[in-house]
Amino acid sequence: MGFFDKLKAGLEKTRKSFTEKIEQLVIGYATIEDELLDDLEAVLLSADVGVPTTTKLMTEIRSGIKSKQINSPDDLKPFLQEKINTMLLSKHYAEATQYAPPVVMLIVGVNGVGKTTTIGKLANYYHEAGKRVLIAAADTFRAAAIDQLEIWGQRTGSEIIKHAEGSDPAAVAFDAVQAAKARKVDIVIIDTAGRLHTKANLMEELKKINRVIAKEVPAAPHETLLILDATTGQNAINQAKLFGEAVALTGVVLTKLDGTAKGGVVIAINNELSLPVKWIGVGEGVNDLRPFDAAEFAAALFADK
Amino acid sequence: MVFESLADKLQQTFKKLRGKGKLSESDVAEALKEVRMALLEADVNFKVVKDLVAKIKERAIGQEVLESLTPAQHVIKIVNEELTNLMGGTQSRIAIASRPPTVIMLVGLQGAGKTTTAGKLAHLLKRQGKQPLMVAADVYRPAAIKQLEVLGEQLEIPVFTMGQDNPVNIAKKAVDQALMMARDIVIIDTAGRLHINEDLMNELKSIKQTVKPHEILLVVDAMTGQDAVNVAESFNNDLGLDGIILTKLDGDARGGAALSIKAVTGLPIKFAGMGEKLDALEAFHPDRMASRILGMGDVLSLIEKAESAISLEKAQEMQKKLRKEDFTLDDFLEQIEQVRKLGPLDQILGMLPGMGKLKGLQGLDIDNKEVKHIIAIIRSMTSKERRDPAVINGSRRKRIALGSGTRVQDVNRLLKQFGEAKKMMKRLKDMQKSGKKSNFKLPFMN
């Protein structure tokens, strides 16, 4: 199965709750009525698009009706698709690998979003692209996090730098960056412990990691990726804001987008934060993490059966 | 925070109506629009929101609102009551089997926090005098077994493992083992799975048939969005759940998912994960959850915290002193320390209604360092100086600054602040004397 098919399959549920609902809605009405618009709003909200972004889309639809761009219920879906397309496509971003090696990537996020698994998949992606990858096991807090990462290191042929459980994560990051320079590694990926964005002391710990690696490699970390669980609701916006205040985020990785997730939060994140979604995870396989392609995503979201 | 609290929004909505005297149906509709938005922003499922808003509307329109002196407060009260009703009563208990061992099975999506919760639950039951055995039946996630083993070591609770064997087999052997070891509780940690993954759901069904757990608990991340309802429904349909454990509630998620799950499945939420430490699994309070979803702060938790940290006698003594106007720097110091016992200041402020909004303002960072400085300065004073700050002259100021590691300006500022505080207290007292009652009230309190 190609990635597009996988993405389509992964978004099957989203499509069902989203596109198909819109289609069914449209069939049920001969003319555009307030009730139809209310139902449409409900479809957006139930896909985790969130209140502000839904309000924005609904306003655009209403003005589309006024300006006669939308004349019948049949016009609603293409209109909405175009608006969401523009929302997703309006942001453009650079690849991390354009920097001189070692490129340092810092991975952050709340507990249980899939940081360690994502790192395994990222390492695999870059390894297959012919890069030499080093992973820093700086999640020294969660029980067996280091073991979990080591297994991923073996699977993907990546080197790993680790300290004992409970040691200073900044020290692990420092060692990793130094080792990367000495061993001429292309990419360093730093795992961090999951932390709730409301814990000030843990946010300080992230800042410290940042400071320490910036001292070793100027401009590092080149990428600071926030991992978000696609099943998360509107709290995702809070997470992005508060993590962003602690460390300068360069993008988002959306995980667990397969099957269950609504994925509407992608649209919300694009609209409410000027933070690009860079990677998405659509399955448990090692190859199921890919760079996010807005056009592909929008196409899969609105794809016909 | 990002969201304005519903209470604030409703106040604003009703401000426009001031002077009108009467509330029409359309006025109520306006307020309910805000209620709807607040609930949706809190991730309450939109179907649940629809039903709730209809119910609230029924109650709000007509007499009840018209009779109320402050319509905003009244609407919030109704909303709060309806939410509390929907959340149901507390039921933070594990049904213990008449013939041990009691078998508890934890299920849920990936990353919900099952393994950590297994450790926390085992710890909680151990403290209640039980003898739990934890079972590592997550054979898929790398190092999941190791994670449970490490937790077992930390908690001094045995962990049953059989490597990457078949989870059904592991569960069966574990229960046999528990009987032999005379452990009275068995907690089975299963692998995270999507509720639409048939193979893995069938695996859970087989475990259920084989070991017949007394409790099957669904572990749910408090930050889950609209999909929470579908997840809970399909796990419940497939397995017949006995309850929910809500995790990561120590963050700032409004936790609307909890309400949705309760409303749709009727399952009790038994426990809530409130922190990273292994003792951070607490009883779930439905009424507090209602306030939290509405963004009204956790007044009850604050009151409880204050009660446990500040002794009643000391508070009364302080009040007497305030009244008698002999409030000294010693008392000031004591007061600061009492408040500090409650926890970090920003956390306390977050619990107060209306403060959610204030927190969003830049610059209102409560600086714990500054509080430490104040304490150091007062502690560097002699007892005479603390009783009568008027005696503190230039050379004393220099000595105090040196002793506390601060600057003379800091000492000056503190003395000035203290003087102003005293003045304010006097004014407050005079106001009370002249018979003016303070009309400070918490919103929606009866």
- Please report, for the domain that includes residue B18, its CATH number: 1.20.120.140
Among B62, B86, B110, give the residue marking a domain's end: B86
Same domain for B262 and B151: yes
- Residue B269 makes CB contacts below 8 A (sequence gap 6+) with B87, B243, B244, B245, B246, B258, B261, B262, B284, B286, B289
Is the pLDDT assigned to residue B239 strictly greater than 90? yes
Cross-chain residue pair A46–B149, CB shorter than 8 Å: no
- For residue A133, the surrounding DSSP H or E stretch is strand A133-138
Cross-chain residue pair B231–A260, CB shorter than 8 Å: yes
Least confident residue range of A69-73, A210-214, B71-75: B71-75
- Give the A window 119-178 contacts with B, CB below 8 Å: 141-145, 147-148, 150-152, 165
Is the pLDDT assigned to residue A206 strictly greater than 60? yes
- Whether the ω angle into residue A221 lies within 30 degrees of 0, i.e. cis, is yes
Given this model, what pLDDT does residue B444 score? Answer: 34
Cross-chain residue pair A112–B196, CB shorter than 8 Å: no
Q: Report DSSP state, residue A97.
A: G
How many interchain CB pairs under 8 A, A with B? Answer: 140
Angstrom distance (rounded) from CA B1 to CA B254 = 11
Task: Grade residue B35 by pLDDT with cuts at 50, 70 and 90.
Answer: confident
- Give the A window 70-109 contacts with B, CB below 8 Å: none
Same domain for B116 and B52: no
Same domain for B209 and B336: no
B9 compared with A206, residue with greater pLDDT: A206
Task: Grade residue B330 by pLDDT with cuts at 50, 70 and 90.
Answer: confident
Residues A202-226 have a mean pLDDT of: 92
Domain that holds residue B48: 4-86
Given this model, what pLDDT does residue A104 score? Answer: 95
Same domain for B257 and B139: yes
Is the pLDDT assigned to residue A271 strictly greater than 60? yes
Same domain for B317 and B259: no
Angstrom distance (rounded) from CA A232 to CA B223 = 5
Given this model, what pLDDT does residue B5 score? Answer: 57
Residue indicated by tokens 């179907």 = B47
pLDDT tens sequence across B391-412: 999 999 999 999 999 999 989 9
Residue indicated by tokens 């500022």 = B413
| Among B229, B221, B298, CA closest to B49 | B229
- For residue B190, the surrounding DSSP H or E stretch is strand B185-190
Give a yes or no: residue B444 inside a domain: no
Distances (CA, A) of A156 to A150, A285, B25: 10, 12, 64
Cross-chain residue pair B223–A259, CB shorter than 8 Å: no
Given this model, what pLDDT does residue B362 score? Answer: 34
Given this model, what pLDDT does residue B446 score? Answer: 31
Cross-chain residue pair A142–B195, CB shorter than 8 Å: no
Which of B170-174, B280-284, B363-367 tops mean pLDDT?
A: B170-174
Least confident residue range of A7-16, A227-236, B186-195, B203-212: A7-16
Task: Grade residue B360 by pLDDT with cuts at 50, 70 and 90.
Answer: very low
Same domain for B399 and B263: no
Least confident residue range of A165-179, B27-41, B268-282, B340-354: B340-354
Same domain for B111 and B62: no
Is the pLDDT assigned to residue B98 strictly greater than 80? yes
Residues B151-168 have a mean pLDDT of: 95
Is the pLDDT assigned to residue A170 strictly greater than 90? yes
Given this model, what pLDDT does residue B2 score? Answer: 32
| Closest residue on chain B to A109 (Cα) | B111
Average pLDDT, chain B: 79
Give a yes or no: residue B92 inside a domain: no
Give a yes or no: residue B203 inside a domain: yes
Is the pLDDT assigned to residue B300 strictly greater than 60? no
To the nearest whole Å, the CA of B314 is away from the closest chain A CA by 31
Cross-chain residue pair B1–A113, CB shorter than 8 Å: no
Among B21, B54, B86, give the residue marking a domain's end: B86
B225 vs A111, A231, A241: nearest CB: A231
Same domain for B250 and B106: yes
Give a yes or no: residue B331 inside a domain: yes
Given this model, what pLDDT does residue B261 score? Answer: 92
Give a yes or no: residue B202 inside a domain: yes
Angstrom distance (rounded) from CA A97 to CA A222 = 9
| Among B109, B120, B93, CA closest to B261 | B109
What percentage of chain B reaches a pLDDT higher than 90? Answer: 35
Average pLDDT, chain A: 85
Is the pLDDT assigned to residue B127 strictly greater than 60? yes
Given this model, what pLDDT does residue B442 score? Answer: 35
pLDDT tens sequence across A95-128: 656 778 899 999 999 999 999 999 999 999 999 9
Chain A residues inside the 8 Å CB shell of B113? 111-112
Residues A48-58 have a mean pLDDT of: 89
CA B154 to chain centre: 26
Task: Grade residue A187 by pLDDT with cuts at 50, 70 and 90.
Answer: very high
To the nearest whole Å, the CA of A142 is away from the closest chain B CA by 8
Is the pLDDT assigned to residue A165 strictly greater than 70? yes
ipTM: 0.82
Cross-chain residue pair A47–B40, CB shorter than 8 Å: no
User: Quick check: pTM over 0.95?
Assistant: no
Same domain for B290 and B166: yes
Same domain for B278 and B144: yes
Task: Grade residue A296 by pLDDT with cuts at 50, 70 and 90.
Answer: confident
Give a yes or no: residue B94 inside a domain: no
Same domain for B109 and B74: no
| Closest residue on chain A to B2 (Cα) | A238
Give a yes or no: residue B97 inside a domain: no
Cross-chain residue pair B147–A144, CB shorter than 8 Å: yes
Q: What is the CATH number of the domain that holds B241?
A: 3.40.50.300
Task: Grade residue A198 by pLDDT with cuts at 50, 70 and 90.
Answer: confident
Angstrom distance (rounded) from CA B54 to CA B26 = 14
A22 and A77 Cβ atoms separated by less than 8 Å: yes
Chain A residues inside the 8 Å CB shell of B50? 42
A185 lies within 8 A of chain B by CB = no
Helices (H) and strands (E) in chain B, counts: 21, 8
Same domain for B331 and B287: no
A221 lies within 8 A of chain B by CB = no
Residues A153-166 have a mean pLDDT of: 92
CA B179 to chain centre: 38
DSSP of B59-124, one letter per residue? HHTTHHHHH-SSHHHHHHHHHHHHHHHHH------PPPPSSSPEEEEEE-STTS-HHHHHHHHHHH
Task: Grade residue B365 by pLDDT with cuts at 50, 70 and 90.
Answer: very low
Residues B55-60 have a mean pLDDT of: 82
| Among A139, A97, A88, CA closest to A114 | A139
Chain B residues inside the 8 Å CB shell of A197? 251-252
Residues A81-94 have a mean pLDDT of: 74
- Whether the ω angle into residue B142 lies within 30 degrees of 0, i.e. cis, is no
Among B302, B334, B359, give the residue marking a domain's end: B302
To the nearest whole Å, the CA of A145 is away from the closest chain B CA by 7
Is the pLDDT assigned to residue B227 strictly greater than 50? yes
Q: What is the CATH number of the domain that holds B430?
A: 1.10.260.30
How many domains are contained in chain B? 3
Give a yes or no: residue B192 inside a domain: yes
A285 lies within 8 A of chain B by CB = no
Given this model, what pLDDT does residue B286 score? Answer: 80
